Structure 1
Amino acid sequence: MRSASPNEAVPATTPAASLVFTTVLSHGPITRTEIARRTKLSSAAVTKAVRPLMEIGYLVEDVGEGARRAIGRPANPVRVDGSRALFVGIKVTGDAIIAVLADLCCRILTARTVPLSGRRPAAVLADIVAVLHDLLTEADAIGGRVRGVGIAVSGDVDRAEGVVRYSPFLEWRDIPLAEIAGTATGLSVTVDNDVRALTRAEHWFGAGVGLSDFALVTVGAGIGCGLVVHGRVVSGAHGVAGEIGHLPIDPQGPLCYCGNRGCVEAVAADPAILRDVRAATGLPVADLAEALELARGADPRVRAVYARAGEAIGRAIASVVNILGPERVIISGEGLAAYDLFAAGIRDAFTRSAFGIAEQCDLTTRPLPFEEWARGAAATAIQSFIGSITLRATT
C-alpha cells in the first residue's frame, strides 16, 4: 500500500491557510473577497494563503469569459481541485465496515460494505486492510493517489493519540488503532469518534454549512452528540464533549453499561427500547423491526416505550441548547426509522425544558445512511491532510 511520496515536503501550514482551505472547500467556488468576509481575515492574508495553495495545485482559479480583476487583485472565484488527492473513510459498527473512496472535496467515488469477521482488534484490522486494498485498486484504476485514511469508531476515542479508549459495541479498551492501522497499511491514519466525524462532514458539506454553532444528535444503537462551537468541532479537554447519552435523567432508572443509572442511552437507545418493549408486552420480541410493527399496530404499551424514549432525548437536547445555545440541532441516526413514534415526545420535552428563547432553536431531522458516516471519516482524514499541506511542494 502506498502513502505520499517520501520526496514530498509536508511541513504544517499556517492556521490562516487551513482556514482559507476549509472555507473554499465548503463554499467554493468563492472569490477572495468572499473568503475574507467569511474568515474575517484581511485581503492580504487571504492572498498570502491562496497563492501557494494554487501553486501546488490544491486550489484552482475558475477563469471564464467574465474574468476580471479588482484593483489589481484577481476577482475570479477559486475552488478546491478534488482530483488532486483521494482519501478513504471507514465507519466501523459492531457488525460491519462501511468504507468509501472520496476525493479532496469529499465526494464519494465508490463505497463498500463488508461484514465484520469478528470484533477482536486483529479481526477488525484484517477486515480494514482487505477493504482498503480493494479501494486502493479502485484509486489506481482512476489514476489517483490515496493520501490518508480516516477511521470512525463509536465510543471514547482520543483522536490526538489515535487511541480507542473504550468502544462499547466492539468491546475495545485502549487500542492504539491509528498506529496499528498505519503500520499495517503504510498510510497516514486518523481515528476519531464516529459522531464527531459525521459532525465534521455536516459542518463542511451538510446541514451545518454556514453555521457557527450547531449540534448533531444521533439516535440509534447509542445516543450521541457532536458539537460545533464558534465554527469548530469540539471534543473537549478529555475528548468526550457531547456525550449526552450519559446524561443521568433518572437516578432510579435502568442500569447503563457505563455503570450509572438512568442515562439517556439506558432509556432511549435501541437496546433499551427493545428491552422495555419485551418487558411491557411480555412477548419475546425478536428485534426492533418487530417492536416497530407492534407500535404501528397501535399497541399502547409499545407506543408508551417510544414516548418515554422521545422524552429522554428531548430533555437531553434541551440541556445542550440551554448550555451552548446552538442555532440548530440536527437529529439523525438509524433510529430515525422510528421518529414518528417519538417525535412528539422529543418536541414536548424539549419545549418544557428549554430555557426562554432557547425554545426557538431549530430542530431538524436529517436521515444519514452509514455511507455518510464513512464520508465523515474521510473528512477527518482530509482535515489531517489540510493541516500538513506544504506551502512549497516538490514532487
Structure 2
Amino acid sequence: MPQRPSRQLPLATPAGVEVLTRILTQGPIPRVEIARRTGLSQAAVTKAVAPLIEAGFVTDQAAAPLGADQTGIGRPVSPLTVVPQSVSVIGLKVTPTALIGVTTDFTAGILNVCHRPLDDTAPDAVIEQLAGLAKELIATLRTAGPLVGIGVAVSGDVDERHGVVRDSPFMGWREVAVAELLGKRLKVPIVVTNDVRALTVAEHWFGVGVDADSFAVVTIGSGIGCGLYINGEVVSGAYGVSGELGHLPLAPGDLVCTCGRRGCVETVASSDAILARARETTGRPNLDLADAIELAHDGDEHARAAFDRAGEVIGSALAAMVNLVGPELVVIAGEGVAEYDLYEERMRQAFAAHAFGAAGDCRLMLRSHTFDDWARGAAATVIRTYVRGEPPLQR
C-alpha cells in the first residue's frame, strides 16, 4: 500500500485543491481575487478555505485596504496566505559526483542545505548515501513542521508514477526502483522525478512561471535539458519523456552522445563537449573548463570556436522547440550559464534565423541556478504532489 503523508490536508474536492494552489503560488491573495481567478463563487472559496485555516495550513493576514484596481476602495480585506511552517519537505539532487539535499517549508523556502561527495554511482551505494543524507536532514527538522515527503531529482528517463529511473546515462542507471529502495530505508513517501522537470515545477509554482501562460526551462551544463509548462501543466509526456532538447539530432552525425546515439545536441553544446573540442583544437589535452573559458575570453580562436559552435546548435534547438510548442518565455539555466556570454550572440543569431514568424518574439532569459535550486525543485515536486493528492501522497 502506498505510504501516506504524516499530516493530511483537509481537501475533499477539486475546488479545494484549486483554492489552496492559488493561495500557495499567488498569495497573499484575497478571497474575492481567488473567486475571480478560479471562476468559483466567493461562498465556494470560503467553504474550501475554512478547514485549511482550522487545520493551520492557511491563515488570514492583518486587514489591509484594497488596492485602487479592486472594487470597494477603502474596505478592509484579509488576504489568505499559506503558513510556511505547517509542513516540511526534503529535496535531494543526484549527480555523478555529489548528492545535494535541502529541507524546505510549505512554500519551498530553503531551511537547510547539505552537500555530500559521491565516489560510487552504483545504485545500491547511492541509495545508501541518499538514505544517510536524508536522515541527517530529518534530524534538522525538530522545530519545523511535520515531514510530508522526500523528493529525489535524477537526470534521464524517469517513471514518476512508480518512482523508477528507467535510463540515466550520466549515472549509468537502468531500471532502478529508487522510490521503493529508499522508501524501505526511510519509511517516508518518496517522489522521484526528472531533474529538469523538477526545476520547471519550482519555476511554475514559486518562480518566473507563476504569472506566465507558458514557458520552458532550458538547462545547459554536462547535459542539455528542457522542461515545458504548456496549457496549465508541466508536460510529462505520454511515456514520461518530454523536452529532451539535448537529444535532438542537430549536430554532426559522426559525434556519439552519452546516450549512445549520434548527432545529439549534447555532442556539441554540453560543457563536456565544449571542453573536449577546445582540448582537441588547441592541442592542450589537460585543459579544464575554467581554462577553456579563460582562453576564449582572451580571444583564442580555437577555444572561441568551440563556444561559437555550441551557441549555433543551442540556438537552432531552441528555435525548433519554440516553433513546435510556442512558449512565451524560455528560461536558460544550469551550471553551464557561467560561460553564457561566450555563446549568447551566436545562439541568439541562430534562434532568430530559425524561429518561424512570431515565434521569434519569444523572450530568452538567463536565470542562474545552483545545485541547491535543483534539490529545491525536487522538494517543490513533493509539495505539488502533496497538494494534489497524487501517488504516493494520495489522500
Same fold (TM over 0.5): yes
Shift of residue 324, structure 1, vs aligned partner: 1.2
The structure showing larger relative contact order (alpha-carbon pairs under 8 Å, at least 6 residues apart) is 1
User: Residue 364 of structure 2 aligns with which residue?
Assistant: 363
Residues 250 and 136 of structure 1: CA distance in aligned 2, closer, same or farther (over 3 Å): closer
SS for the counterpart of 2:103 is strand
Residues 249 and 11 of structure 1: CA distance in aligned 2, closer, same or farther (over 3 Å): same
Q: Deviations over 1:131-169 (max 9, x none)?
A: 1111111101x2432111001001111111110011111
Identity %: 48
User: Residue 234 of structure 1 aligns with which residue?
Assistant: 235
* 8 Å contact from structure 1 (residues 332, 367) kept in 2: yes
Shift of residue 88, structure 1, vs aligned partner: 0.4
Matched, 1:156 2:152: no
* 8 Å contact from structure 2 (residues 10, 52) kept in 1: no
SS for the counterpart of 2:141 is helix
User: Residue 301 of structure 1 aligns with which residue?
Assistant: 302
Query: How many Å separate the matches in 2 of 1:367 and 1:205?
Result: 15
Query: How many Å separate the matches in 1 of 2:161 and 2:4?
Result: 20
Matched, 1:24 2:26: no
User: Residue 249 of structure 1 aligns with which residue?
Assistant: 250
Q: Superposed, which structure 2 residues align to 1:97-246 within 5 Å?
A: 97-140=99-142, 142-246=143-247
Query: How many Å separate the matches in 1 of 2:252 and 2:290?
Result: 30
* 8 Å contact from structure 2 (residues 64, 78) kept in 1: no
Q: Deviations over 1:33-81 (max 9, x none)?
A: 21123334343443332222222221111133769x98xxx94211111
Q: Structure 1 stretches (4+) deviating beyond 4 angstroms?
A: 2-5, 8-13
User: Residue 89 of structure 1 aligns with which residue?
Assistant: 91
Residues 232 and 294 of structure 1: CA distance in aligned 2, closer, same or farther (over 3 Å): same
SS for the counterpart of 2:383 is helix
Q: Superposed, which structure 2 residues align to 1:333-344 within 5 Å?
A: 333-344=334-345
SS for the counterpart of 1:101 is strand
Q: Deviations over 1:215-266 (max 9, x none)?
A: 0000001000000012211111011110011110135341112232211111
Q: Deviations over 1:294-344 (max 9, x none)?
A: 211211011011011011111111111111111100000110010010001
Shift of residue 348, structure 1, vs aligned partner: 0.3
Letter in 1 for 2:30: T
User: Residue 53 of structure 2 aligns with which residue?
Assistant: 54
Residues 48 and 307 of structure 1: CA distance in aligned 2, closer, same or farther (over 3 Å): same
Shift of residue 4, structure 1, vs aligned partner: 4.6
Query: How many Å separate the matches in 2 of 1:33 and 1:276?
Result: 58
Q: How many residues align?
A: 382
SS for the counterpart of 2:20 is helix
> Can you give the 5+ residue segments of structure 2 that lack an aligned partner in the other structure?
391-395
Residues 126 and 350 of structure 1: CA distance in aligned 2, closer, same or farther (over 3 Å): same
Residues 332 and 356 of structure 1: CA distance in aligned 2, closer, same or farther (over 3 Å): same
* 8 Å contact from structure 1 (residues 268, 310) kept in 2: yes
Shift of residue 26, structure 1, vs aligned partner: 1.3
Shift of residue 182, structure 1, vs aligned partner: 1.1
Shift of residue 15, structure 1, vs aligned partner: 2.9
User: Residue 348 of structure 2 aligns with which residue?
Assistant: 347
SS for the counterpart of 2:35 is helix
Query: How many Å separate the matches in 2 of 1:144 and 1:306?
Result: 46
Query: How many Å separate the matches in 2 of 1:289 and 1:320?
Result: 30
* 8 Å contact from structure 1 (residues 163, 175) kept in 2: yes
* 8 Å contact from structure 1 (residues 274, 285) kept in 2: no
SS for the counterpart of 1:261 is coil
Letter in 1 for 2:18: L
Query: How many Å separate the matches in 1 of 2:38 and 2:185?
Result: 39
User: Residue 375 of structure 1 aligns with which residue?
Assistant: 376
Shift of residue 14, structure 1, vs aligned partner: 3.0
Residues 159 and 3 of structure 1: CA distance in aligned 2, closer, same or farther (over 3 Å): closer
SS for the counterpart of 2:116 is strand
* 8 Å contact from structure 1 (residues 87, 381) kept in 2: yes
Letter in 2 for 1:41: L
* 8 Å contact from structure 2 (residues 221, 270) kept in 1: yes
Query: How many Å separate the matches in 2 of 1:124 and 1:118?
Result: 7
* 8 Å contact from structure 1 (residues 327, 362) kept in 2: yes
SS for the counterpart of 1:89 is strand
SS for the counterpart of 1:215 is strand
TM-score if structure 2 supplies the norm length? 0.91
User: Residue 263 of structure 1 aligns with which residue?
Assistant: 264
Q: Deviations over 1:93-132 (max 9, x none)?
A: 1111111110011110110111114111111112111111
User: Residue 62 of structure 2 aligns with which residue?
Assistant: 63
Q: Deviations over 1:187-206 (max 9, x none)?
A: 01100000000111111111
Shift of residue 350, structure 1, vs aligned partner: 0.3
- Structure 1 range deviating more: 248-257 or 228-237: 248-257
User: Residue 393 of structure 2 aligns with which residue?
Assistant: none
> Can you give the 5+ residue segments of structure 1 that lack an aligned partner in the other structure?
390-395
Matched, 1:312 2:318: no
Query: How many Å separate the matches in 2 of 1:292 and 1:63?
Result: 52
SS for the counterpart of 1:208 is helix
Q: Cα RMSD (Å) of the superposition?
A: 2.2
Query: How many Å separate the matches in 2 of 1:275 and 1:119?
Result: 23
